Amino acid sequence: MIASFFSVTGHVATVCLEDQRSVNAEWYTTICLPKVIAEIRKSNFKRRIILHHDNAGSHTAKKTNDYLTAQSIDLLHHPPYSPDLAPCDFFLFPKVKDQMRGMRFSSPEEAVDAYKMHIFEMSNSDWHNCYEEWFHRMNKCIDVAGEYFEKQ
């Protein structure tokens, strides 16, 4: 499992889940988020941080919300049953999956290295286009008051 974080300007951080453990609020708040926040704050310690989470259990857990509040991090809420609104689901994973299709790896670490390599090779315009598409999808959701809709 890999947790990837990115902004409109590109990749921010990738955190790997070691030893094939499950992603839970404990791992997310004690290992993953501290690494990501430290990386974001390297360039500007006082920078406002806003995260967009989907509705995964580790993202919606009380422990996670308490941690984010303590770190003064704002959270954009995600409508239920809307994987089409998560940039990782509609942009990042399909793009990397297409590039890695057919590749074989001798270890999990080798697969993670290949994944990171593909992320680092993405251009600034790729990331910018991702966010343009995300805004378009979010506006579409707002226009239908959060109701589910098929592709239109």
Question: Residue-wise pLDDT tens for the chain (152 aa)?
Answer: 788 888 888 888 888 887 757 888 999 999 999 999 999 888 878 788 999 888 888 999 999 999 999 999 999 888 777 778 888 888 988 999 999 999 999 988 898 899 999 998 999 899 999 989 988 988 888 887 776 666 55
pLDDT tens per residue, range 126-150: 999 998 998 898 888 888 777 666 6
Residue 149 lies in a domain: no
Residue 144: CA atoms inside 13 Å, Cβ hemisphere, count? 14
Do the Cβ atoms of 101 and 77 come closer than 8 Å?
Answer: no
Q: What residue numbers bound the domain in which 9 lies?
A: 2-143
Residue spans of alpha helices (H) in the chain = 25-27, 33-43, 57-60, 62-70, 87, 93-100, 108-121, 124-143
51 assigned to some structural domain: yes
In a domain, 54, yes or no: yes
Q: What would the two tokens of residue 2 be?
A: 């890999």
The 8 Å CB, 24+ separation contacts for 40-46 are 40/12, 40/13
Q: Inter-axis angle of helices 108-121 and 93-100, to 10 degrees?
A: 120
pLDDT at residue 26, rounded to an integer: 92
In a domain, 152, yes or no: no
Kindly state whether residue 148 falls inside one of the protein's structural domains.
no
Residue 117 lies in a domain: yes
Q: Decide if 12 contacts 120 (C-beta within 8 A).
A: no
Residue 85 pLDDT: 85
Structure pTM? 0.79
Pairing of strands 10-16, 2-7: antiparallel
Domain count, the chain: 1
CATH (domain of 132): 3.30.420.10
